[in-house]
Amino acid sequence: MEHHFEPNRYYNSFGSFEPVLTIASGDCVFTSTLDAFGHGRDGSLVATPGNPLTGPFLIEDAEPGDQLVVYLEMISPNRDHGFTFSSIAPHIVDGSFVPELPTRDLTRWDVNVDAGIATLIDQKAEPHELTIPIAPMVGCIGVAPSGGQAISTATSGRYGGNMDYRHIATGATVLLPVLTAGALFFIGDGHAVQGEGEVVGTGIEISMDVAFTVQLRKQVNSRWPRMETATHLIALGNARPLDQALQHATTELVRWLCSDHDYDVRGASHLLGQALEYDIGNVFDPAFTVAAKMSKKHLYR
Residue ranges in 166-195 that form contacts with a copy of itself under rule CB under 8 A: 193-195
What's the closest the beta carbon of residue 221 comes to a copy of itself, in angstroms? 14
Per rule CB under 8 A, is residue 143 in the interface with a copy of itself? no
What's the closest the beta carbon of residue 250 comes to a copy of itself, in angstroms? 6
Q: Each residue of 56-95: b (16+ CB within 10 Å) or e? A: bbbbeebeeebbbbbbbeebbbbbebbbbbbbbbeebeee
Per rule CB under 8 A, is residue 102 in the interface with a copy of itself? yes
Per rule CB under 8 A, is residue 300 in the interface with a copy of itself? yes
* Rounded CA separation 161/25 (Å): 21
Nearer to a copy of itself, 70 or 204 (CB): 204
Binding mask of the shown chain, residues 9 to 38, with x at each position contacting a copy of itself by CB under 8 A: ---xx-x-----------------------
Per rule CB under 8 A, is residue 44 in the interface with a copy of itself? no
What's the closest the beta carbon of residue 196 comes to a copy of itself, in angstroms? 5
Contact 177, 223 (CB under 8 A): yes
* Rounded CA separation 178/190 (Å): 23
For residue 51, the one-letter residue type is N
DSSP-assigned letters across all residues of 158-171: TTEEE---TT-STT
**How long, in residues, is the chain?**
301
What's the closest the beta carbon of residue 18 comes to a copy of itself, in angstroms? 14
For residue 137, the one-letter residue type is M
Among 106, 115, 130, 260, binds a copy of itself (CB under 8 A): 130
Nearer to a copy of itself, 278 or 296 (CB): 278
* Rounded CA separation 207/203 (Å): 12
Size of the site for a copy of itself (CB under 8 A): 86
Per rule CB under 8 A, is residue 65 in the interface with a copy of itself? no
Binding mask of the shown chain, residues 238 to 267, with x at each position contacting a copy of itself by CB under 8 A: -xxxxxx-xxx-xx--xx------xxxxxx
Distances (CA, A) of 92 to 72, 100, 204, 241, 247: 30, 13, 19, 12, 20
Nearer to a copy of itself, 178 or 211 (CB): 178
